[in-house]
Amino acid sequence: MAETTRDTGPETGQRSQQRWQVVPAPVQPPPRGAHRLDLRTTIAIDLGRLAATMSRRLGLGSGAMIGGRLALALQPQALRRLALGRRVVMVTGTNGKTTTTRMVAEALRSRAPAVSNATGANMLDGHVAALMTRPGAPFAALEVDELHLAQVTEQFEPAVILLLNLSRDQLDRVGEIRTVAESLRRALARAPGAHVIANRDDPNIVFAAADHPGVTWISGGARWKGDALNCPRCGAFLGDADGDWRCECGLSRPEADWTVTADAAVAADGTRYELDLALPGQVNRVNATFALAAAERLGCDHGAAVQRIQQISQAAGRYGTVRLAGRAVRLLLAKNPASWLEMLDLVSAEQHPLVLVVNSREADGYDVSWLWDVDFELLGGRPVRLAGDRALDLAVRLHYAGVPATVSATVDDALAGTEDGVPDIIANYTAFRDLVARSRS
């Protein structure tokens, strides 16, 4: 293991005495039986598994966090110990983490067993809970909250890190995008041996990854541009992020290694991989291309990886068709202006009954002023039903967008007022979570 130091004063040339050990990723999946855990870690994992099982049996939750939390309390080095001998892919960004992580996990399973935090528990306790489900699995695909990637790379060095995008989200918890981009940049500096797969169309992601020694750049276009108008390094105006922008400070849009088209992922050598996905929209073709690039990096067969990705029809309830209030509905998650843009674009091409649900609880962020940044005009005067804690705020926004809206006391009431057919429900985080839980009860 290599001992590494970090510059904390680039302007002065001073170096801190902070040191950490980089745990390099193995080149190949280890042979069966190669993963051995010390006694303390083994006991912590056993008790964590017991806690997770009891949580599920008592109906207290999925156990996706409590087991990992207990294991970490008993063995603070649990994450580092469980990651040893595996090739771990970390997936982060503001939008698309859960779906892309599911795609990466399925692609890796085309080669060997892989574990994943499929429920979206994306902090350290969720990572430990996922890894301890199968300590001998050679691969892992883990979603990580964008502010927690630095904590992960303090513990171990992943084999691959996917940087999807950055946009405004939960400002009262996360803060401004520049803060998040700087945190990602520091996290990558602690993992020089990890291979980074990054979005070249997002200047904030380019800033975070540009100095890393090994990067594969993905180009899928810049749909949401509201947070990419200025250079994240110096603040200068960039203009259209879809173009080959170059800032006067030297930061510029890199050449693409993979390009996403309307129906395929195209590698740098021109090889096309058709993406006939069960999941809808251009956004999921971009997610699939990230997953395919990660699978290629870890030695998976392209054909087998694409086949498994194409079979995914939902991820933790996203895009799934479920039964609510006695009828089939399709659930879509949108939690900030960037993701609302994608979901509105998806439903605007269809004429299904539409219900919009917005809450503003702690996990959502209490500030809903972002509603005024969403292009609800895409609905083109289509009537919708509204529910959720902030339905009235949403109704005001839709009034100015020229969209006729009816406010309902509950989602069930909203559904009862819709026409025949399979309604689409677009909900933000806690509203979506509650609807998924109801559909499974």
| Annotated binding-site residue numbers | 231, 234, 247, 249
CA atoms within 13 A on the CB side of 242: 6
**The two three-digit tokens of residue 310, written as one number:** 């194409």
**Which residue ranges make up the annotated binding site for Zn(2+)?**
231, 234, 247, 249
Residue whose token pair is 């170059």: 246
CB atoms within 10 A of CB 379: 20
Task: Calculate the alpha carbon distances from 361 to 164, 340, 388 in Å.
Answer: 25, 18, 11
Residues 6+ positions from 352 with CB-CB distance below 8 Å: 330, 421, 422, 423, 424
Secondary structure (H, E, C), 208-239: HHCCCCCEEEEECCCCCCCCCCECCCCCCECC
Pairing of strands 14-22, 2-9: antiparallel
Distance separating alpha carbons of residues 237 and 257, to the nearest angstrom:
26
Pairing of strands 272-274, 264-267: antiparallel
Choose among 334, 386, 101: nearest CA to 223. 334
Phi first, then psi, for residue 232 (nearest 5°) are -70, -15
Task: Calculate the alpha carbon distances from 50 to 89, 135, 292 in Å.
Answer: 27, 15, 35
Residue whose token pair is 């180009």: 219
Q: Which residues are catalytic?
A: 367
Phi first, then psi, for residue 337 (nearest 5°) are -55, -40
Residues 6+ positions from 307 with CB-CB distance below 8 Å: 110
Distance separating alpha carbons of residues 123 and 190, to the nearest angstrom:
18
Choose among 401, 284, 381, 265: nearest CA to 339. 284
Distance separating alpha carbons of residues 358 and 432, to the nearest angstrom:
9
For the four alpha carbons of 138, 139, 143 and 148, in that order, the dihedral sign comes to positive
CB atoms within 10 A of CB 140: 27
**The two three-digit tokens of residue 390, written as one number:** 């902030």
Distance separating alpha carbons of residues 158 and 151, to the nearest angstrom:
12
